Amino acid sequence: MRPFLLATLLVSTAAQATAPWQDEAAAQIPPFAEHLLGTVRQAVTDGGPIAAVQACQALAPQIASEHSHQAWQLGRTSLKVRNPDNTPDAWERSVLERFAEAAIAGTPVKELRYGEEVDGEYRYMQAIAVGEPCMACHGTAIKAEVQEAIDQYYPHDQARSYQIGELRGAFTLTRPLAQETQ
Ligand code: HEC
């Protein structure tokens, strides 16, 4: 019994130690998501969807680094990436695969999130669902000229043919476990 009890206690202590990070991680996401969506909407309004593809290409990585502060690294990833720089690592891939299974089993994509301690860091992912504003560039009926612009910047694009409500990918966040921020 004893080793089992000890293991249980250790697990719950670790869970308690990282639990505060989960809320802090979740709080990093809305400003990042709104900045991305606001930028894409503005670019569509100003110049149409082709200009918006260019804006995404130029600005998405910059917006991610602007929101990476107080020890948190923010990014986006997917099982089907547009930008190869967003390819998931092994941990992200396994979380995305579990999100995909849960979504198929009927869990609403918006509810999918997961955080844990991995090699001295706290890592957190929150699923991203496809919505109406995403369809112009990730949907099933992308205009020919928009497809051309995507092909030009992302010759290996895999992020098309999504339906509304599907799992598009996830926000991915990492921070060191130690208290000090750098
Ligand atoms: C104007 C076209 C456009 C629209 C609209 C758009 N995206 Fe994208 N999306 C892109 C481009 C271009 C990239 C690649 C950005 C980069 O180079 O980092 C991208 C990348 C992503 C990524 C990062 C993973 C990857 O595939 O590289 C996610 C996640 C994503 N988009 C989700 C969405 C969601 C969700 C919406 C709707 C709310 C949306 N996008 C709307 C063009 C668009």
| 182 domain residue, yes or no | no
| 149 domain residue, yes or no | yes
Of residues 26 and 180, the one with the higher pLDDT is: 26
Angle between helices 2-66 and 144-153 (to 10 degrees): 110
How many domains does the chain contain in total? 1
- Ligand 1 centroid from CA 154, angstroms: 11
Q: Is pLDDT of 181 > 90?
A: no
Q: Is pLDDT of 117 > 90?
A: yes
Task: Give the residue, out of 134, 160, 173, with the most ligand 1 atoms within 8 A of its beta carbon, to mutate for a pocket test.
Answer: 134
pLDDT tier, 20 (very low <50, low <70, confident <90, very high otherwise):
confident
What is the per-residue pLDDT across 54-108, written as a single tens digit (0 to 9) for each? 999 999 999 999 999 879 999 999 999 999 999 999 999 999 999 999 999 999 9
As a whole number of angstroms, the distance between CA 67 and CA 74 comes to 7
| 118 domain residue, yes or no | yes
State the residue range of the domain holding 42. 2-176
| 167 domain residue, yes or no | yes
Secondary structure letter of residue 179 according to DSSP: S
Task: Please report the pLDDT score of residue 14 as a whole number.
Answer: 54
Q: Quick check: pTM over 0.95? A: no
pLDDT tier, 182 (very low <50, low <70, confident <90, very high otherwise):
very low
State the burial class of residue 105 (Cβ atoms within 10 Å of its Cβ: 0-12, 13-18, 19+): exposed
| 80 domain residue, yes or no | yes
Q: Would you say the CB of residue 28 lies under 6 angstroms from ligand 1?
A: no
Q: Is the Cβ–Cβ distance between 78 and 168 less than 8 Å?
A: yes
Alpha-helical regions (H) of 67-108: 90-104
- Ligand 1 centroid from CA 29, angstroms: 15
| 27 domain residue, yes or no | yes
